[in-house]
Structure 1
Amino acid sequence: MIRLRAVIAVAHFHGLELDIRDFAAEPGETVPSPATLTRWLNDQGAVAKAMRIKWRYLVRMSNSPPIVLMFRDGSAALMVNADAERGVVWLRDPLSDEGQPPVPVDEMRLSQVWTGDILLVKRRRDQSEADAPINVSWLAKMVLREKKSLRDIAISSMTLSILQIFPPLIVMQVIDRVVNNRSMATLVSIVAIVLVLSFYEILLTYGRRELTLILTTRIDTRISLHLFSRLLALPLEYFERQQTGDVIGRVMAIYKVRDFMTGRLMSTFLDLFTLVVILPFLFYLSSTLAWMTVAASGVIGLIIVVFMGPMGRIYGKLVRADMERSSVMYETVAGIRTIKTLALEPARKQEWDVRTADVVRWKLAVGRMSNWPMTLTMPLEMFINRGIILVGAYLVLTNASSVGVGALVAFMMLGSRVASPLTNLAKLLDDMNEVTTSLGEAGSVLNQPTETKALTTGMRPRIKGALSFIDVNFSYPGSTTKALNDVCFEIPAGTMLGLVGRSGSGKSTVTRLLQGVSRSYTGYLKLDGVDLREINLTHLRRSFGVVLQDNFLFRGTIRDNITAGRPGLTIDDVVRAARLAGAEEFIERMPAGYETWIEEGSTNISGGQRQRLAIARAVISDPKLMILDEATSALDPESEALVNANLERIGKGRTMVIVSHRLSSLVNCDQILVMERGEVADIGPHEVLLERCSIYRTLWMQQNRHTSSRSARNDEAAPLIAEGD
């Protein structure tokens, strides 16, 4: 991994903080290649370029930023300076301390280990493609990146357009010369030419289709990768405020734009090559008929432009109605267990019927509105396809034009090819309504502020677990009351901290701020003396182990779920984590053990088993700070007792923040923080809080009332028994 360390050191020089755990090697690569490293750096927000150069060029690269030199044994070094006159370069070991002086190396020594490959890295100064707004310009740049494919398609289209001129010309010659002069030899020659031209036209058409298919596939892949990355970069707060089905529907609308750009738009522009080549030839055959064709097509375009505004407004309402219906479908499928349990099928069906009625109503309105321009343009299309030949025949019969019979037939053959791209170009404007609406819907999600900067920049300190809240205030968006109000407390590393309080007191808000879910708080929240907002968000979350009240398990094996955050860990690590979480005993009873498949929704395991697997997933990375937010609430008493017994073992050497309504599970905590209406009511050990904190004492008495009653009954029964004796 020396090459990775070298790359990370160069990125650090340019102000980019990279995490080696973000790197994914290509399949079969034991040592990352320059191409793989370049791809990774570009994805992380840098500008990287790998190249192979000779010594005479390398030695001239003086006063340049550090350059990564690749060695034959799979390692690397950093070139920090060069001197062409002395014929040496200065290298530094990427694993050594930055203060260590570099070593001068000449050509002979370097040639024994150097492959000739170097990696140049700099920080991207402009707005990266991954962070650019999702709009028409963004999509156009995605398409224009395929310059080579576009060039080949353009050349093949232009060639095809030229070849399409020859068949009408040949037909004109057949009519004017072969038929009139009855020349068999000329006919044979023309047939041979037609066969040759037809062969090349078929070959070029196949090639253009292949190139277009490759182009659209590459664009589709790039768009899909960017959209999913952008979606993952959105903050959790956004997803909590939005309906999942609505978010999915809006994001998927981008594929309508993709289909338009790689389908109708591309085919229309390809046909424009035909227009550019053939239209001048039509004016050569008959300017009168050519102007009629252009004028009719222009009127078609004008009609469509007039209807664009009303069509766009109605189509936007159709898209929104369709997304609302999709949200109902998603919620129904996601909550089918609740629907079946409570017999909510009639209510959901009624909701679906209402949404479907809205979709049908707006779809009918869109169809009726689009029917008008189609009806108005139909006579003009008929005139282009049928009326032109009648006008041409009239001009021939009245000798009003020099157009002959052969020229008239040739004009009709070429005219149909010209009219199609002209009318398609006009109809293209009509499609812009759907495209603009779909792009706006997708942009309303994907153009939300992302966590990209917080995920890729910031400090990466070594986490120990000391926490301090200093006058922390926080309010949820749209709320008029503070969720946290001047919260102040401090705990050293390795402390087991319990969080208690009534519902809505701010317990979960504290854990959300610790995880970096919300960063819009005021005051200071410090981890090991460093403000949480200054720490790289990815590094922060990977340093934490989090177990929630309702944990999600992915479809896959138990082993895959436990190692979800660290896929490279061994089965020994999995077993150790399962043992800590108290999950080992039920896993070993399963037929396939750690290879047991977990179905979607975790339907084949119990809630308590799911919770223990989540705990195992959290502890396998050996985090220095763990957050358990009602982690044992779904467990049965036996499982809860088992997990609580392991908590001391789990918390050994790490900071634990445990949120629980069951105070009995927090008795052994070093400190218990009592929250009340977003404020700190008290903090201290269990025995101290029982004496001085009335809120804690009340909660404890409420939960242990049955124990107190039993003790009181026993105290009353004891004297009676004594008297009986």
Structure 2
Amino acid sequence: MSIGQRLGSLTQRYQPTFPTDAGSGRQTNGDVIHPRVQAVMVAARFHGIELDPGELVSTGAQDIPSAASLSEWAQSAGMWARAVRLHWRQLMHCVDTGPVVLLLTDGSATLMVGADADRHVVFLRDPHALASEIALAVDELRLERVWSGEAVLLRAQRGQTETDAPFTLSWLSGLVLQEKPSLRDIGFASLTLSFLTIFPPLLVMTVVDKVLTHHSYSTLVLLATILAIATVYEAVLGYARRLIVMVVGARLDAKLNLHVFNRLLRLPLDYFERHPAGETMHKIAQVYKVREFLTGKLLTTFLDMMTLTVLLPFLFYLNSTLAFVVLACSALIVLVVLAYLRPLQRVFAKVIVAESEKAAALGETIFGIKTVKSLALEPQRRMLWDTRVAEAGKARLAFGKLANWPQTIVNPIERFMSIGIVLVGAYLAMTDKSGYAVGALFAFMMLSMRVAQPLAGLARLIENYEEVGAAISEAASVLNRPLEYGTLSRGLRPQLSGAIAFDDVSFTYGSTKIPALERVTFAVPAGTMLGIVGRSGSGKSTLTRLLQGINRDYSGFLKIDGNDVREINLRHLRQSFGVVLQENFLFRGSICENIIAGRPGLTLNDAVRAARLAGAEEFIERMPNGYETLIEEGSPNLSGGQRQRLAIARALITDPRILILDEAMSALDPESEAVLNANLLRIAHGRTMIVVSHRLSSLIDCDQILVLENGKAVDIAPHRLLLERCGIYRQLWTQQNRHLGNQGPRHAKAS
């Protein structure tokens, strides 16, 4: 077989499918992984990183993974990856870069593992081939028959990534400087416009000194023509510059939006639990104030300074005395602003605190509006809002009063720069004997304000910087917080089955000294249905938080299938869990979209299967539009039980190895609870299920029940044994089954 035939056979051996286990998105053991997926996995393994094909977002079972999705998949695992288009000559330079993934035109892929520039060949390897197999040497002609230039470059991440860099003014400046080509065009346009601003004053000076003096009509016509051409050119160039500035601003907005949202998603849950949503949103909004400063006042001042470098020498050429007067006035403005800088900083700090508290009160009222309405708390919230508005207004007024003083002092200086210079210039013109000082005075008057504005703007820029510095501090107080441990992209990615072991685990929240869990030790095998009971504050929810990696600063050992939870990749760990809480949030969208939110590549059939398992199918089918029924914000068109069953269906859609129901049945009505209890054993089949509940009757069928008291594990056993030997469990059971009288224990034995 020829080299070209062997290269072409890559796609014949592997069909372009992306097989998954129904409802789970996992690769089935009997199916061959798609060549593109396999190629990226092999390239990543070369750099010491193991990728999980289940994490690759696919839009359907028959879709061919795109270069962009493969690149994003590798980036989510902590690698540097780019989807690119390469030429043959560029491949010749990829010698010591590691494997390069070449995406072939028929949907398959191959790995380029080397190149020989002398022989003009590259060495390719089948992604499914063994490492011991010899690479295939292919020349340019044969490769171009099956490859259009699409490739994925990968390597291990080096140093600090751009997304991990702290949010500072220097980082923002670096973001702006990434637009160097556009900034260069803006600078060139500004410099050209600066030279064009000299023409009108020169024309005026020439008209006064030449045309009016000598009555030269031909010179007047020539000057008018030059002025018309310069005006048209200036208008076109000004339009182009404004357009480029808008494009740069739009790009920066997009980058900032992506960066801010990604940082927010990577903040630990503990942060959001301790800070009001309104306060966080207010602080994040300060980012865009900084962006406006960089692309607005700062850029404008910078462009004006370019104008200044052109005009200032020309002013000295026209009249050095008046030029020195302009510079002296500008220096006085700078000194005034600098003198008030520190006091303004102290007063503005109070404005920040007042505005943050006001935003927190507003956000809390909006998010808790149901409680406000149901308990008629409008007067109290209005009183709180009035107080916050008054405090913010008082702080703003104090800042405004202080900021008014430098403006008051500067105004006479600016007025002198515009009017006083005319008087000084008139005196100099009258004492001049040459006769040409009048035209120069007119030219100087036209240009002096163009020079004074950048100098005054530079002084005010220092004042604005103080406000921007405060805005950066506010945004940084959120964005620069420690991200979740080791980021979401590092750590082990084992295939979990669900065996859980706590070994002498203790944990204390940062806000208290009393341990939430104290030396908890127990173990359950994979596939166990584990119930967790205990009084309020006994540590039930804390235990599930540790399992999900929400809190990792515990002592002792917590293992899943023998792997320490702290060593497992955080995203991989949470994707192995299905979690249903007491209060679950449903997103705005259809019922189907909410159910498949955890795996957007799935279809309506998968949503129906999960809804049937959660007992939600019967009420969904009674809805006006079935699975396409729109859920509004806050899900007002659903009852509490319906919301809970949809949340359970959403947790089941990913076929998790471990399912946590944390007080998931407490909000259910009797009918919904009966439906869910009937399906509970079916839901638990093939997975480990942890059920946290105050209702002991819902835990009777659990294989093991863990009893917690004051953060300690008191006992773990099936229901019947706990009734016999655990006093705390027996007491809880008796309290909940008083209506049964003495039938409680007998009922338990019968069960």
What TM-score do you get using the length of structure 2 for normalisation? 0.91
- Secondary structure of the equivalent of 2:487? helix
Give the 5 Å matches for 1:38-53: 38=71, 41=74, 45-49=78-82
What is the match of residue 101 of structure 1?
133
C-alpha displacement of 1:8: 3.5
**Residues 141-184 of structure 1: per-residue CA shift (max 9 Å, x gap):** 11000011000000000000011111100000000111111111
C-alpha displacement of 1:326: 1.2
- Secondary structure of the equivalent of 1:602? coil
Equivalent residue for 1:708, pick from 712, 723, 741: 741
What is the match of residue 368 of structure 1?
401
What is the match of residue 18 of structure 2?
none
Measured in 2, the distance between the counterparts of 1:2 and 1:567 equals 22
Q: Are 1:587 and 2:593 an aligned pair?
A: no
Measured in 2, the distance between the counterparts of 1:306 and 1:285 equals 33
What is the match of residue 691 of structure 1?
724
Contact kept in structure 1, 2:287 and 2:472, CA below 8 Å: yes
What is the match of residue 4 of structure 2?
none
> In structure 2, do the counterparts of structure 1 residues 400 and 462 end up closer, same or farther at CA, with 3 Å as the change threshold?
farther
Q: In structure 1, what residue type is equivalent to 2:138?
A: D
What is the match of residue 150 of structure 1?
183
Give the 5 Å matches for 1:189-200: 189-200=222-233
Equivalent residue for 1:278, pick from 289, 311, 318: 311
C-alpha displacement of 1:68: 1.4
Measured in 1, the distance between the counterparts of 2:37 and 2:318 equals 67
Equivalent residue for 2:546, pick from 513, 538, 541: 513
> In structure 2, do the counterparts of structure 1 residues 117 and 573 end up closer, same or farther at CA, with 3 Å as the change threshold?
closer
Give the 5 Å matches for 1:294-309: 294-309=327-342
Q: In structure 1, what residue type is equivalent to 2:135?
A: V
Give the 5 Å matches for 1:380-391: 380-391=413-424
What is the match of residue 113 of structure 1?
146
Measured in 2, the distance between the counterparts of 1:262 and 1:193 equals 33
What is the match of residue 455 of structure 1?
488
Contact kept in structure 2, 1:14 and 1:123, CA below 8 Å: yes
What is the match of residue 177 of structure 1?
210
Contact kept in structure 2, 1:45 and 1:128, CA below 8 Å: no
Structure 2 gaps, min length 5: 1-33, 746-751
What TM-score do you get using the length of structure 1 for normalisation? 0.94
Give the 5 Å matches for 1:18-37: 18-20=51-53, 23=56, 31-32=64-65, 34=67, 37=70
Q: Are 1:72 and 2:105 an aligned pair?
A: yes
What is the match of residue 379 of structure 2?
346
- Percent of aligned positions that are identical: 54
Q: In structure 1, what residue type is equivalent to 2:305?
A: L
Give the 5 Å matches for 1:390-429: 390-399=423-432, 404-429=437-462
What is the match of residue 603 of structure 1?
636
> In structure 2, do the counterparts of structure 1 residues 502 and 423 end up closer, same or farther at CA, with 3 Å as the change threshold?
same
> In structure 2, do the counterparts of structure 1 residues 42 and 170 end up closer, same or farther at CA, with 3 Å as the change threshold?
farther
> In structure 2, do the counterparts of structure 1 residues 286 and 42 end up closer, same or farther at CA, with 3 Å as the change threshold?
farther
C-alpha displacement of 1:6: 2.0
- Secondary structure of the equivalent of 2:280? helix
Q: Are 1:378 and 2:411 an aligned pair?
A: yes
Give the 5 Å matches for 1:110-509: 110-399=143-432, 404-451=437-484, 453-509=486-542
- Secondary structure of the equivalent of 2:488? helix
C-alpha displacement of 1:344: 1.1
> In structure 2, do the counterparts of structure 1 residues 182 and 364 end up closer, same or farther at CA, with 3 Å as the change threshold?
same
**Residues 177-225 of structure 1: per-residue CA shift (max 9 Å, x gap):** 1111111111111111100000101011001000111111111111111
C-alpha displacement of 1:5: 3.3
User: Which consecutive segments of 4 or more residues in structure 1 shift more than 6 A?
Assistant: 400-403
Measured in 2, the distance between the counterparts of 1:142 and 1:64 equals 27
Contact kept in structure 1, 2:498 and 2:525, CA below 8 Å: yes
C-alpha displacement of 1:35: 5.9
Contact kept in structure 1, 2:631 and 2:637, CA below 8 Å: yes
Contact kept in structure 1, 2:59 and 2:600, CA below 8 Å: no
Measured in 1, the distance between the counterparts of 2:283 and 2:696 equals 44
- Secondary structure of the equivalent of 1:455? coil
Measured in 1, the distance between the counterparts of 2:59 and 2:423 equals 66
Measured in 1, the distance between the counterparts of 2:568 and 2:552 equals 11
What is the match of residue 8 of structure 1?
41
- Secondary structure of the equivalent of 2:597? coil
C-alpha displacement of 1:263: 0.8
Contact kept in structure 2, 1:169 and 1:410, CA below 8 Å: yes
Structure 1 gaps, min length 5: 713-725
C-alpha displacement of 1:91: 3.1
C-alpha displacement of 1:83: 5.1
Identify the range of structure 1 (450-459 vs 596-605) with the bigger mean alpha-carbon deviation.
450-459
Measured in 2, the distance between the counterparts of 1:254 and 1:647 equals 47
C-alpha displacement of 1:518: 0.6
C-alpha displacement of 1:37: 4.8
Contact kept in structure 2, 1:60 and 1:83, CA below 8 Å: no
- Secondary structure of the equivalent of 1:456? coil
C-alpha displacement of 1:17: 4.6
Q: Are 1:567 and 2:600 an aligned pair?
A: yes
Contact kept in structure 2, 1:72 and 1:113, CA below 8 Å: yes
Measured in 2, the distance between the counterparts of 1:633 and 1:609 equals 13
Measured in 2, the distance between the counterparts of 1:289 and 1:668 equals 95
C-alpha displacement of 1:106: 3.3
- Secondary structure of the equivalent of 1:471? strand
C-alpha displacement of 1:79: 2.4
Measured in 1, the distance between the counterparts of 2:511 and 2:499 equals 32
C-alpha displacement of 1:341: 1.5
> In structure 2, do the counterparts of structure 1 residues 22 and 165 end up closer, same or farther at CA, with 3 Å as the change threshold?
farther
Measured in 2, the distance between the counterparts of 1:39 and 1:568 equals 16
What is the match of residue 718 of structure 1?
none
> In structure 2, do the counterparts of structure 1 residues 42 and 629 end up closer, same or farther at CA, with 3 Å as the change threshold?
closer
Measured in 2, the distance between the counterparts of 1:120 and 1:571 equals 35
**Residues 672-722 of structure 1: per-residue CA shift (max 9 Å, x gap):** 11111111100111111111111111111111111026789xxxxxxxxxx
- Secondary structure of the equivalent of 1:675? strand
Measured in 1, the distance between the counterparts of 2:674 and 2:626 equals 23
- Secondary structure of the equivalent of 2:502? strand
- Secondary structure of the equivalent of 2:634? helix
**Residues 297-324 of structure 1: per-residue CA shift (max 9 Å, x gap):** 1110110011111111111211220111
Measured in 2, the distance between the counterparts of 1:204 and 1:409 equals 26
Contact kept in structure 2, 1:90 and 1:102, CA below 8 Å: no
Contact kept in structure 2, 1:469 and 1:524, CA below 8 Å: yes
C-alpha displacement of 1:442: 0.5
Measured in 1, the distance between the counterparts of 2:256 and 2:47 equals 29
Contact kept in structure 1, 2:289 and 2:471, CA below 8 Å: yes
C-alpha displacement of 1:51: 5.5
Measured in 2, the distance between the counterparts of 1:337 and 1:58 equals 62
Identify the range of structure 1 (314-323 vs 371-380) with the bigger mean alpha-carbon deviation.
314-323
Q: In structure 2, what residue type is equivalent to 1:103?
A: A
Measured in 2, the distance between the counterparts of 1:79 and 1:711 equals 71
Equivalent residue for 2:710, pick from 674, 677, 691: 677
> In structure 2, do the counterparts of structure 1 residues 650 and 100 end up closer, same or farther at CA, with 3 Å as the change threshold?
farther
What is the match of residue 527 of structure 1?
560
Contact kept in structure 1, 2:372 and 2:378, CA below 8 Å: yes
Equivalent residue for 1:662, pick from 695, 701, 706: 695
